[in-house]
Structure 1
Amino acid sequence: MFGWRLLVTDLLGVLILAGVGALIALPYLRVGDTTPAKTEIAFFSPPIHSLLIGPAESRIWGAPHAVARESLAWSAEMALLPGFVLYALALVGLFFSVWRVWHRLILLVAVLVSAVFTLGTTFFDGRWTYLPLFGHLPGSFGVRIPGRLMLWVTLFLAILAAGAVAEFVRRAEQLAASRMPPRPGPWLRLATLVPLLLVLLEGWNATAHPVVPAQPAAMRTVTGPMLVLPTAALSDQTVMLWSTSRFQKIANGGGGFAPQHQAELRRSVTSFPDATSVQYLRSLGVGTVLLLRTEAAGTPWDRAGDRPVDALGITREDLDENSVLFRLS
């Protein structure tokens, strides 16, 4: 019915998707756990009432739910309310919808099952839900925050809600067809827009849009392999972004995991510049170190740009008022 060409194309698509997914998963499999996965999952598992608590970024529910969010261990990942309007439309969609009854029942089961997984270990300690699947399915690699699965709950709720809205529009069309002339009046047209307007209103957010720190001019001229100081899990992510102008090799790195060798590097260079840290960086093949004075304020490298280096066999150069370049070779 579909033809062998379409079937072969579909098969190739599945193989390509699986292959790319496997390549993406390999680095995760090589990284050792720094914290037991079950401990992190238990900490980040949201309570059931978090499904009714709005995030701080919501203009409608952000302020009214501020006290409720304080009861959550990690409100940034646990304030999961997708919208009371969506809940209401989905509920209506169970009884009044263009979808067939068995379609609605399947969607209801999908909502409940995905909600159970979203609760992580909150639901019967996750023994028969989240924990057995974690780490065994390709899509669960590194997903130690169950609340992020709220995306699936929202999707299934939206499909249920769409059935209700579509049925409302269908009834409106039938009502308009029985009129003379056969077209909807202005109030009927406006009524069909009410669900959309309510969803948009409740979804109105106040998400901040912070400005990315300006790239130091030295990042566009210094070659690697290099280390940028200060180095920390969060600040290294900015350094990684800065490095995209030249893509030089850098020892900085940050992400969802903290490899042991990265933690060892940060410990070993705390006293830079000194003989031990210089030797350690040379053993890694790092030839230059860029110190950013402004960012280093209040860190172990606060005065690193002023320490004598003559006895270390390295050179120091002030590139500008904020950047100090050390050459180790």
Structure 2
Amino acid sequence: MSTDTAADETAVPEEEPAPPSPEPEKSDVDPWERFAATAHEDEDDGELPRRGRVGLIAAHASRVVRHEWTLAAVASLLLAVVMSWPLWTDPVHRVPHDTGDPLVSAYLIGWTGHATLTDPLGVFSLNSFFGSRLSLFFGDSLLGFAPAGLIGSGPQAAILRYNILYTLCVALTVFGGYALLRQLGSRVPGAAFGAVAIAFAPWRLAQAGHIQVIAVGGILLSLAMLARGHGWSLRHGYRPRRTRWGWIAAGWAVATWQITIGFGMGVAFGYLLAGIVVVAAIGWLFKRPRVPGEVLITDAAGAAVFAVVAIVLSIPYFQVAAAYPYAADNADAAERFSPPWLGLITAPGESWLWGRLHTPARDSMYLPGETTLLIGFALLGLALAGFLYSSWTRRQRWFLALGLAVAVVLTMGANFLDDGAWGYMALHEYLPGWAAMKVPGRLILYVTVIAAILAAGTITRLGDRLHEMAVERRVDPREPVRRPPLARVALLIPVALVLLEGVSVAAYPTVPAPPAALSEVDGPMLVLPAGKAEDARLMLWSTDGFPELVNGAATFVPEEQDRMLAAAVSFPNGGAVNYLRAMGVKTVVVRKDRIAGTSWQHVLDFPPTDANVVIEDKGDVVVFKL
């Protein structure tokens, strides 16, 4: 994709050429121009003939290594690894946060890769939830991660694959936030602060077990690319000469990939893009700026692809809602998961800095893991300062404040005025697809992003002022501008503060190894005891061959599974055996070490009344062949 030439590096009006200077004023240089320029753009043409091929390759490699986007990408990845370091001490056995949803997600990614190779037409129906169709869509499908599932097999590969993707998702959030803020016009310290504040906000610590919530870097990166492609920034507004259709195409491609991860975070993003399109169209009607034809064509094609993919992926969800009506009503869930006002300034228990101090506040909340939504006090303070002192214009700050207010209202869900009737619940009732989001608090992402933009404006204004002071203090205007090193370091202190607030004390538990005999059992099988935690482990273990399982854990569980589990309470009597046979179950596996204290604790106390049932004791499990 093309980028601007070095001749456009400074934002100087064409009718007033800049006075001779040994270097452009850094406050006037387009930040994204330095960030996204290709490595050859600053090549001295006079040097090309005098260099050999090896020299040119070495020079190009050196520029790539030293380029801002390379440094930003490496820094993002290093931060993601360091901030979750315990995970990487044993990445094939540990998972972040808990052994519930991460195991299900690791399984889903493995399943989509396995089914793509072995049974592409059956990818939507999992090997778990035996007898249920379209079970991939009982929650967020994570289809966007399917290519990773093509690599490796078995539980350990699934865990390692998940941990790599998890870390890359955190890194992409840092990188995407940095790219977005640079495109909007922030200096490096402001962009670094905002990116880290978004990626390591305290509220995200409680979401570490939900990769579909952590994986929002595509939202930020696509917005950066789209803004870049349209030649738009907060600093300079719309500049037709800087439009680039390649960046627009890339932005829509990343946005489309983001929607394939899941609708839990994707629905709001889709409506955000639609809102941006509407606002841009209204702005064009008033100002009638020149828009290149290739921009309109690329936008139309990109938006069409995005819409088609979103619609195609939504069809199975509507089919699931029709087949299981009790799964479609998320209004009650949205009310339960709506955070109180106190939740906006309360940190989750996973926060090293604030967790213990905020325990009394969390004790008064329902499901604090979803309702403690602190964006960080450092971010909050600088965002408030950004409304008063900023490199953004007053009008832009008012619009950002309005967007922030709307985001807060929607995040509150049913706990805003009139039980959310003027906000989230109204959208839940009337906006297509909005009901897919049953956790309003996850919209805190947009509160965090807008606050980061405001905060970056403050830090950027401070950086501009330091630059102006350095320019004024030069004795000879031909001398390069040198800002005091301590001043540069001071601008990075806020980054250290948000990193401190982002330190987590969450566990990185070790995943239990599967019973050795389990891989020898043929499906369809029912494994006892059952339950969300037990079934999450079983789903992961089933990546060793993917035998058919009655067990399964998801956002909701079909009533058929509940009925089979209820019947199994009286197993192995004849009635239970006959019912399970009729449902297609061929094997029941009982785990001796897990059965005590459950509803199925007596299944091993009595012999089966059906003589056709074959029992095999395999040490840690007992296998009943029906």
Which TM-score applies when normalising by structure 1? 0.91
State the partner residue of 2:571. 272
For residues 83 and 174 of structure 1, do their structure 2 counterparts lie closer, same or farther at Cα, with a shift above 3 Å needed?
same
Within 2, Cα distance between the matches of 1:7 and 1:183? 42
Instruction: Report the CA distance between 1:94 and its aligned residue.
Output: 1.3
Within 2, Cα distance between the matches of 1:38 and 1:215? 38
The answer to whether residue 621 in structure 2 is matched with residue 323 in structure 1 is yes
Structure 1 counterpart of 2:622, one-letter code: V
Secondary structure, aligned partner of 1:251: coil
State the partner residue of 1:40. 333
- Does the 8 A contact of 2:524 with 2:584 survive in 1? yes
State the partner residue of 1:117. 410
Secondary structure, aligned partner of 1:290: strand
Within 1, Cα distance between the matches of 2:308 and 2:535? 35
Instruction: Report the CA distance between 1:135 and its aligned residue.
Output: 5.6
For residues 29 and 206 of structure 1, do their structure 2 counterparts lie closer, same or farther at Cα, with a shift above 3 Å needed?
farther
Measured against aligned partners, the alpha-carbon deviations of 1:232-264 in whole angstroms (never above 9, x if no partner) come to 233212211111121111111121113222221
- Does the 8 A contact of 2:569 with 2:603 survive in 1? no
Say which of 599, 603, 616 aligns to 1:304: 603
Say which of 460, 473, 483 aligns to 1:166: 460
For residues 311 and 220 of structure 1, do their structure 2 counterparts lie closer, same or farther at Cα, with a shift above 3 Å needed?
closer
Measured against aligned partners, the alpha-carbon deviations of 1:12-65 in whole angstroms (never above 9, x if no partner) come to 343223322433554245322279644333332221121111111111111111
The answer to whether residue 591 in structure 2 is matched with residue 292 in structure 1 is yes
RMSD: 2.3
Structure 2: tracts of 5 or more residues without a match: 1-291
Secondary structure, aligned partner of 1:50: helix
- Does the 8 A contact of 1:226 with 1:249 survive in 2? yes
Within 1, Cα distance between the matches of 2:473 and 2:323? 68
For residues 71 and 305 of structure 1, do their structure 2 counterparts lie closer, same or farther at Cα, with a shift above 3 Å needed?
same
Structure 1 counterpart of 2:625, one-letter code: R
- Within 5 Å, give how 1:98-177 maps onto structure 2: 98-124=391-417, 125-134=419-428, 136-177=430-471
For residues 221 and 103 of structure 1, do their structure 2 counterparts lie closer, same or farther at Cα, with a shift above 3 Å needed?
farther
For residues 93 and 25 of structure 1, do their structure 2 counterparts lie closer, same or farther at Cα, with a shift above 3 Å needed?
farther
Instruction: Report the CA distance between 1:213 and its aligned residue.
Output: 2.0
Within 2, Cα distance between the matches of 1:148 and 1:6? 31
Which TM-score applies when normalising by structure 2? 0.49
Secondary structure, aligned partner of 2:594: helix
- Does the 8 A contact of 1:293 with 1:302 survive in 2? no
Structure 2 counterpart of 1:78, one-letter code: T
Within 2, Cα distance between the matches of 1:26 and 1:158? 39
Structure 1: tracts of 5 or more residues without a match: none
Instruction: Report the CA distance between 1:100 and its aligned residue.
Output: 2.8
State the partner residue of 1:262. 561
Secondary structure, aligned partner of 2:616: strand
Measured against aligned partners, the alpha-carbon deviations of 1:170-209 in whole angstroms (never above 9, x if no partner) come to 2223333334463122211211111111111122221211
Within 1, Cα distance between the matches of 2:535 and 2:507? 21
The answer to whether residue 237 in structure 2 is matched with residue 237 in structure 1 is no
State the partner residue of 1:184. 483
Within 1, Cα distance between the matches of 2:603 and 2:293? 69
Within 1, Cα distance between the matches of 2:429 and 2:616? 48
Identical-pair percentage? 36
- Does the 8 A contact of 2:331 with 2:428 survive in 1? no
Measured against aligned partners, the alpha-carbon deviations of 1:146-179 in whole angstroms (never above 9, x if no partner) come to 2222122112211222222222222223333334
Within 1, Cα distance between the matches of 2:572 and 2:353? 52
State the partner residue of 2:492. 193
Structure 2 counterpart of 1:116, one-letter code: V
| Range with bigger deviation, 23-32 or 269-278 | 23-32
| Range with bigger deviation, 134-143 or 160-169 | 134-143
State the partner residue of 1:82. 375
Instruction: Report the CA distance between 1:119 and its aligned residue.
Output: 1.2
Structure 2 counterpart of 1:40, one-letter code: A
Within 1, Cα distance between the matches of 2:590 and 2:439? 35
State the partner residue of 2:120. none
The answer to whether residue 520 in structure 2 is matched with residue 221 in structure 1 is yes
The answer to which structure, 1 or 2, has the higher relative contact order (CA under 8 A, 6+ apart) is 2
